[in-house]
């Protein structure tokens, strides 16, 4: 008997592998749209402006590193029937303590950053309208209302539209400035020019590498992929996500190399660098291209905002649910937990969590307290705490995945092989180096 739409969307353990199909692609698009923020694009532009095409190879390696990390997250969810936080708790109480502090401080600072980033292109497009702070508050409230009243299916469709806009605009601008194809291929040879180490590490580890990578498994479950029969589909979805991210990075390197490197034009660091680029594009190609770029800038920033509002709120809701379950059973958090979202109801459980008090409480935390930072300089202690906790997250993710996926917590069939261990080990080492560098660069 042929499989119905319903049986193709939900599976039971032991189901045959699902046939791969482009119509299933979704969570990967969401993680790509969320992970690439305006700050990432500026960092890539600056690398291109300083070193031309020389660091193209780093963008390719970065894409492979992210594919390996996200695949490991998705594989854990599908192979074990447990959420990632469930797995972290099985490693000991220290993981719960770190995540609890991290998610509170990170959310507070990131909320203000995301709202400001989304407001910048709107202010540039409508200079006679409300100011930056007003637009920042409006974008935060729109994100809050959208995520509060919509569930994953609608959220995914909107994210697909936003990443489509991002893709078209970034690739269009790269084509418009005229890439040097020969230099692009030459840039695939690993070379480290003087002074390029930090930029190289940033390209490999920075773009698309945030807490949203950990949220990927939750979006996989929200899609209805609930067990290992969806593994092949998840892997294709994941590759699409980070090939798309790689195209963004390459396109912005091209823009940096062709538009900025040859003219020795410097950009402002941070999101405002994209406003500088908009002015340069207007001078070179006219107001139409500049306005189109600003629309792409908004799509990039706002997709990151609503992606975090949804994905990290899901993680927080699962965090609270696991803590409550542990207290109810008297668990110490070190034993292998019972199946969580992935193993029981998948999409139905995610839908319930989207309406839960913890999910909505974290949505409010991301939106309203950060608004105070729009008027205040970030306190010194908060900057240090945010920087240290944030720098530690990616090494934490990579190294705990190695631990989880080589242990008895994972069915033998789906444990890491040599390639997975090699890629995750390299990612862990890379992120440890980046962590040390970021902590050293904090304003101590």
Q: DSSP string spanning 195-263?
A: T-HHHHHHHHHTTT-STHHHHHHHHHHHTT--SGGGHHHHHHHHHHHHHHHHHHHHHHHHHIIIIIITT
Q: Decide if 83 contacts 341 (C-beta within 8 A).
A: yes
d(CA 44, CA 60): 13
d(CA 361, CA 356): 9
Query: For the CA atoms of 92, 105, 62, 265, what is the dihedral angle to 10 degrees?
Result: -160
Q: Among 238-242, 275-279, 344-348, 350-354, name the one with the lowest average pLDDT.
A: 344-348
383 pLDDT above the threshold of 70: no
What confidence tens digit (pLDDT) does each residue in 296-320 have?
999 999 999 999 999 999 999 999 9
Task: Kindly report the pTM of this predicted structure.
Answer: 0.88
Q: What is the pLDDT of residue 430?
A: 85
Residue 160, C-beta contacts closer than 8 angstroms, at least 6 positions apart = 26, 29, 33
| pLDDT confidence tier of residue 209, bands split at 50, 70 and 90 | low
| pLDDT confidence tier of residue 129, bands split at 50, 70 and 90 | confident
207 pLDDT above the threshold of 70: no
Tokens of 339: 């199946």
Q: Which of 82, 68, 71, 90 is nearest to 407 (CA)?
A: 90
Q: What is the mean predicted confidence (pLDDT) over 224-251?
A: 90
442 pLDDT above the threshold of 90: no
| 3-state secondary structure (DSSP) of residue 129 | coil
Q: What is the pLDDT of residue 195?
A: 81
Q: What is the mean predicted confidence (pLDDT) over 113-127?
A: 91
Query: For the CA atoms of 302, 308, 309, 310, what is the dihedral angle to 10 degrees?
Result: 110
Q: Decide if 338 contacts 329 (C-beta within 8 A).
A: no
What confidence tens digit (pLDDT) does each residue in 253-298 have?
998 888 877 666 666 666 777 888 888 898 889 999 999 999 999 9
Q: Decide if 51 contacts 260 (C-beta within 8 A).
A: no
| pLDDT confidence tier of residue 10, bands split at 50, 70 and 90 | very low
Share of the chain above pLDDT 90, in %: 46
Residue 247 CB-density burial (10 A; 0-12 exposed, 13-18 middle, 19+ buried): middle
- Ramachandran quadrant class, 224 (left: phi over 0; alpha: psi -120 to 50; beta: rest): left
What confidence tens digit (pLDDT) does each residue in 389-431 have?
777 898 999 999 999 999 999 999 999 999 999 999 988 888 8
| pLDDT confidence tier of residue 346, bands split at 50, 70 and 90 | low
- How far, CA to CA in Å, does 121 sit from each of 124, 248, 276, 306, 358? 5, 18, 11, 16, 32
For residue 277, the Cα-to-chain-centroid distance in whole angstroms is 23
12 pLDDT above the threshold of 80: no
CA atoms within 13 A on the CB side of 124: 26
Give, in degrees to the nearest 5, the angle at Cα 102 between 211 and 324. Answer: 95
250 pLDDT above the threshold of 70: yes
């Amino acid at each position: 008997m042929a499989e119905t739409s319903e049986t193709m969307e939900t599976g039971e353990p032991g189901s045959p592998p699902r046939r791969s199909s482009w119509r299933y692609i979704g969570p990967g698009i969401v993680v790509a749209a969320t992970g690439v923020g305006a700050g990432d694009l500026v960092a890539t532009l600056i690398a291109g402006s300083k070193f031309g095409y020389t660091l193209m190879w780093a963008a390719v390696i970065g894409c492979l590193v992210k594919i390996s990390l996200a695949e490991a997250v998705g594989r854990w969810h599908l192979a074990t029937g447990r959420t990632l936080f469930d797995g972290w708790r099985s490693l000991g109480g220290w993981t719960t303590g770190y995540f609890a502090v991290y998610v509170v401080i990170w959310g507070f600072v990131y909320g203000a950053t995301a709202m400001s980033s989304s407001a910048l292109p709107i202010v540039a497009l409508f200079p006679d309208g409300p100011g930056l702070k007003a637009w920042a508050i409006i974008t935060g409230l729109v994100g809050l209302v959208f995520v509060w009243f919509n569930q994953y299916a609608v959220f995914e469709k909107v994210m697909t539209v936003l990443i489509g806009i991002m893709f078209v605009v970034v690739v269009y601008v790269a084509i418009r400035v005229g890439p040097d194809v020969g230099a692009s291929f030459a840039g695939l040879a690993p070379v480290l020019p003087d002074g390029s180490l930090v930029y190289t590490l940033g390209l490999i580890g920075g773009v698309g590498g945030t807490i949203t990578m950990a949220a990927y498994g939750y979006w996989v479950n929200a899609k209805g992929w609930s067990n290992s029969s969806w593994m092949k589909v998840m892997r294709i979805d994941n590759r699409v996500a980070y090939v798309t991210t790689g195209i963004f990075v390459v396109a912005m390197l091209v823009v940096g190399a062709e538009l900025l490197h040859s003219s020795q034009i410097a950009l402002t660091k941070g999101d405002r660098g994209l406003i500088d680029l908009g002015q340069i594009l207007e001078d070179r190609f006219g107001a139409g291209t500049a306005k189109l770029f600003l629309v792409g800038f908004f799509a990039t920033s706002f997709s990151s905002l609503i992606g975090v509002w949804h994905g990290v709120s899901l993680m927080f809701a699962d965090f609270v649910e696991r803590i409550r379950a542990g207290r109810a059973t008297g668990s110490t958090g070190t034993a292998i937990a019972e199946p969580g979202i992935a193993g029981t109801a998948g999409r139905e459980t995610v839908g319930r969590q989207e309406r839960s008090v913890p999910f909505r409480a974290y949505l409010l935390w991301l939106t309203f307290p950060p608004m105070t930072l729009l008027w205040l300089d970030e306190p010194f202690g908060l900057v240090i705490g945010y920087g240290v906790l944030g720098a530690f997250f990616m090494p934490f993710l990579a190294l705990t995945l190695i631990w989880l996926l080589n242990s008895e917590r994972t069915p033998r069939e789906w444990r890491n092989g040599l390639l997975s261990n090699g890629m995750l080990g390299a990612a862990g080492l890379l992120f440890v180096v980046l962590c040390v560098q970021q902590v050293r660069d904090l304003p101590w």
